[in-house]
Amino acid sequence: AEDTRLGRRVAAKVFALTMDANGARPPFSPEEWRRRFIQEARMLASFDHPHIVPVVALDALQDGRPAIFMQAMSGSLRREIGTDVFDPDKQADLPEGVRPRSATPARTRQVLLEVLSALMAVHGKGIVHRDVKPRNLLLANGPGSRVKLVDFGMAKAPAETPAAEPFW
């Protein structure tokens, strides 16, 4: 997205309830998902850490859906290392760009130290992320760059807040 007021790119995460690939409905009510979405924004905004993606704003779209605006990132670790497929026959069927790729020992060490640094900050506040995976590790400036943890939608806070009232 484009922040026209500041003239910069931002990432927008918009509240939308969808069915999963099997057509199953979400396990919570729409109100509970909305509460969790707003809690995610507040949780992320509580951090000022070099390896946690910063929240720029929490606002509502014209249709009333809440949206979290974050620093724009240029990629994810998943794009850097490819899809997690171990069967060689299945790997051969994948397009070249998404086949699993190895990282150098130096890059692996960098990623691990940065992710662990972020998780130390998260756990220091009593929060458990519960969804750490390459797709939720964004890259600040493309492959080989600094890693930032994102997507606190499934995170467990020490004291879950009651249902959030609309803030707009």
Q: Catalytic residue positions?
A: 131
Residues 70, 40, 135, 140, Cα dihedral to 10° = 30
Tokens (6 digits) for 61: 């779209």
DSSP state of 98: G
Tokens (6 digits) for 129: 């992320």
CB atoms within 10 A of CB 84: 10
Give residue for tokens 């640094």: 117
| 40 touches 46 (CB < 8 A) | no
Cα angle vertex 158, ends 152, 162, to 5°?
Answer: 80
Q: Which helix (H) or strand (E) holds 144?
A: none
Give residue for tokens 């007021």: 5
Give how far the C-alpha of residue 121 lies from the chain's centroid of Cα atoms, to the nearest Å: 16
